[in-house]
Amino acid sequence: MDNYRFIISGGGTGGHIYPAIAIANELKRRYPKAEFLFVGAKDRMEMEKVPQAGYKIEGLWITGIQRKLTFKNVLFPFKLISSLIKAGNIVKRVKPHAVIGTGGFASGPLLRVASGKGIPCVLQEQNSYAGITNKLLKNRVQKICVAYDGMEQFFPADKIVKTGNPVRADLIRLNVDKKLALDFFQLDPTKKTVLVLGGSLGAGRINKLIADKQPYFKELGIQVLWQCGKGYIETYKDYSSETAKVHAFLNDMDKAYAVADFIVSRAGAGSVSELCIVGKPTFFIPSPNVAEDHQTKNALALENESAAILIRETDLDVDFEARFSEVFNSEKKQMELAKNMKALALPNATSAICDEVEKLLKK
């Protein structure tokens, strides 16, 4: 049988959406006749990104609980009841053979309903610190696919499978010609390149740092390939020069990674997984504005393995130049970081997660 029906739920951020799409693509490759439905949260980015990837999506009226008393919190019980009812109707109509949740508000009601009806459920947790939705679902699902060691503190040990996080297929085979990639971005092949990534929306603090450090990079003879984010391009486009190429967004990430000698990045789970495969000296500047400060914990997991450098936003003014120069001036340090980073890579994550789904289908 290969005409299975799958419901996949995850959203709110790219870190939940892109793994969900990658899992769907792999299952579709294995089962071309399978049917897929995504379930997301209304008004969140998955409602746009999932149809762009070629899949149907339905939205639930659900949001998280705010940390301070707001009108949204007053509405939360009504949203939860509404979402549980709609999720129940979706599950009853689709009759899925398996349900996969990759985190985010919408996956809570959906997996709660599906698991209650005895449908096999798989969770995928991207971060080293588990999200609240996945923690609430841990006793209701059959398998929990994780990317880090030590996740027994959040989940039952017998349900955990270390698979890693799904990454974009074009990154699994990083065989881009560096010279062609340098030409593509109009970069100087005689200079070292630092690649700056603040996520698709951009990171204000990282952008300010890179703008302030232009004289420092010039002094070192370094050029900058800088993804500043769509929300910041108007502020920083005038920084474009022979030695700094400023882009709102970089679509050709395989080429961007090919030109990079050093990388400055946020520490979202997806970025960390990609960068382990890339294996270049990386400076993580975690966002302090995410739930449970999970980006800092992700970066710390790599720093503890001597695989990356973690610099907190509060320490940038004091520490950045010293920490960067230390790596820049030591080929030995660069090689150590790259080697340890690659040792943590799990490039077959998508396939491993789908293997777990298949095992449940065969049961």
**Angle between helices 269-278 and 331-343 in degrees, nearest 10:** 120
Angle between helices 294-303 and 269-278 (to 10 degrees): 20
Flag whether 251 is marked binding.
no
Contact 55/24 with Cβ under 8 angstroms?
yes
14 carries a ligand binding annotation? yes
Whether 67 has a binding-site annotation, put simply, is no
295 assigned to a ligand binding site: yes
Is 10 marked as a binding-site residue?
no
What's the count of helices (H) and strands (E) in the chain, helices before strands? Answer: 16, 13
Is residue 127 a known part of a binding site? Answer: yes
Say how far residue 307 (Cα) sits from the centre of its chain.
18
Report residue 55: phi and psi, to 5°: -120, 155
Helix intervals (H) in the chain: 14-30, 46-52, 71-94, 107-116, 132-137, 169-172, 178-184, 204-212, 214-220, 233-236, 253-259, 269-278, 294-303, 316-328, 331-343, 349-362
Six token digits for residue 72: 């949204």
Residue stretches of the annotated binding site for UDP-N-acetyl-alpha-D-glucosamine: 13-15, 127, 168, 200, 295
Residue stretches of the annotated binding site: 13-15, 127, 168, 200, 295
